[in-house]
Amino acid sequence: MKSKVLFWVTFFIVSVSSAQETRSLRELRADLESFVFDTTFSNAFIGIEVKSLKTGEVIFRHNAEKDFVPASNMKLLTTSTALSVLGPSYTYQTRLMADGYILSDTLFGDLYIVGSGDPTISGRFTNGDAIKTFKDWADTLKLLDIKVIKGNVIGDDRCFDNVPVGGGWGLDWHEDVYWYAAYISGLTFNDNCVDLTIKPGQIGKPVNFTVDPNTHYASFVNTSVTVNDTVSTLDFYRDLATSRIYIYGKFPASLDSMKVSLTIYDPPKYAATVLKESLDSDSITVVGAADDVRDYQRTHRIPPYSLMWEVASYTSPPLSEIVKVINKRSQNLYAEQVFRTLGKEKYGLGSYSNAHQVETKFLSTIGIDTNKTEILDGSGLSCWDLVSPDAIVKILTAMYKSSAWQYFYDSLPIAGVDGTLEFRMRDTKAQGNVHGKTGFVENVRSLSGYLITADGEPMAFSIFVNHYTVPTNAVNNLQDIICTRLCNFSRK
């Protein structure tokens, strides 16, 4: 009799608990549906998937298996694949090689900067000193008592192919001047950009500006005007296939300064030029010119590197640090470099097709049907990329179980704290809780990542909004409301 009583008591408790759980889930799903079907977004295409990482239960889905343009959520594919295939401790090595011999204080021969696909030779990891690596190499040459180089400085990017943009980028004469569309190259320097600090000139006169690094590689045509106004119309463009940059528009005298990073043409020649300038300014005379290896080899015979000698080298920070730049800052060039590196490491050449093969193979192993995805680049700048919320959640789930989990998680922006989420979801339960990757191109907004509910239950989520015509802030608010509701969710 006692066992029967115990059975019915247990059954009653379980039934009540189940009813409460069903009710709380039902209320959550009703709220999420109301957000999705808000008439504000009636012309938009919305996809969502939310999954419990504790139970494996799909909490909510809407168009989850439909394909969306993901924008920078593509970086989740790139970084998850790289951490899994290359490993968090993977590093790049860029070598300075010499073809020739030293006699007295002179190197009779050329210097070659042999690229490895490394995106990090810049001031990002050297307290803002963009040319620190080149200074270090100059110091090494000085230790060898070299004061003159009777040869050229050659930038070698041949570890990658010679395709500098991703598929479907659609760059025109104007927009490829901006940092987010910097050229992909086997040899990069300073994010393949020059950094300008703009300050107002006298009223009616052009703006004043300084360039970092201080190089003659880029030239400038400044037709801007300093005005007694509060609105800036200052803008820039670069002539195709050159590094001639135009500065135009109006800049208010009331503004203190503005900083902008603008792309250059021919990254390996850019790196070689700045190295040559650095050596010249450090009392090491380079008699020859700076050049791109692909141009140089048309008129010169280049011996194999096995017959040269290594002067110096640069080793990058580990991939675990590089993916933080990719995801927290949404840095496109870093993503593209890492994407092409997959192909270089596995098949000997950093081409799109080789990288695509590596990435789709990895995605297939975690249950993604890659016949239903379109991967045209590594950053998401392409308008031809297509991925479903379900595929993103599969990636998030796989990484949650991966040995590289902590590195992946730590690379994501934190709501209200840092990265591209620094100013979102502040003063809500989502602040400091949501770790997610944003994405934005015209009429596309995405947000995917992880959060913890009020019960301490970890969840993965993906929210895509395509084809919207409302202000982007309205879409941000929709995503933020969904995340906050999930962070407040309790099964009790």
- Report the C-alpha gap between 444 and 455 in whole angstroms: 32
The H or E element spanning position 296 is helix 293-296
Give yes or no for a contact between 291 and 272, defined as CB atoms under 8 angstroms apart: yes
pLDDT of residue 168: 85
Residue pLDDT, tens place only, 301-354: 999 999 999 999 999 999 999 999 999 999 999 999 999 999 999 999 999 999
- Report the C-alpha gap between 169 and 379 in whole angstroms: 10
- Report the C-alpha gap between 243 and 491 in whole angstroms: 59
Q: Is 292 helix (H, G, I), strand (E, B) or coil?
A: strand
* β-bridge partners, 425: none
Q: What class is the 27-89+320-487 domain? A: alpha beta
- Is the Cα dihedral 167, 169, 172, 176 positive or negative? negative
Give yes or no for a contact between 375 and 388, defined as CB atoms under 8 angstroms apart: no
CA distances from 259 to 179, 192, 267, 325, 328 (A): 12, 16, 21, 19, 20
H helical segments located in 86-201: 132-143
In this structure, what token pair is assigned to residue 42?
A: 């009636």
Strands 225-227 and 235-238: unpaired
Q: What are phi and psi of 66, to 5 degrees?
A: -80, 150
Residue pLDDT, tens place only, 161-210: 999 999 888 655 446 899 999 999 999 999 999 999 999 999 999 999 99
Place of tokens 């590594």: 378
Domains 27-89+320-487 and 93-317 share a fold: no
Give yes or no for a contact between 50 and 60, defined as CB atoms under 8 angstroms apart: yes
Is the pLDDT score of 15 beyond 80? no
* Domain residue ranges in the chain: 27-89+320-487, 93-317
Q: What is the mean pLDDT of the chain?
A: 95
Q: Pick from 446, 453, 451: which is nearest to 479 by CA? A: 446
Query: Average pLDDT, stretch 8-37?
Result: 73
What's the pTM? 0.95
Is the pLDDT score of 16 beyond 50? no
CA distances from 100 to 62, 106, 148, 308 (A): 64, 10, 13, 7
pLDDT of residue 7: 45
CATH of domain 93-317: 3.50.80.20
Residue pLDDT, tens place only, 384-432: 999 999 999 999 999 999 999 999 999 999 999 999 999 999 999 999 9
Burial of 179 (0-12, 13-18, 19+ CB in 10 A): middle
pLDDT of residue 163: 94
In this structure, what token pair is assigned to residue 407?
A: 């590195």
DSSP assignment of 230-263 equals S----EEEE-TTS-EEEEESEEETT---EEEEEE
DSSP assignment of 304-348 equals -GGGSEEEEEEEPPPHHHHHHHHHHS--HHHHHHHHHHHHHHHHS
pLDDT of residue 8: 46
Task: Measure the CA dihedral 355/359/364/367, to 10°.
Answer: -160
- Report the C-alpha gap between 183 and 433 in whole angstroms: 35
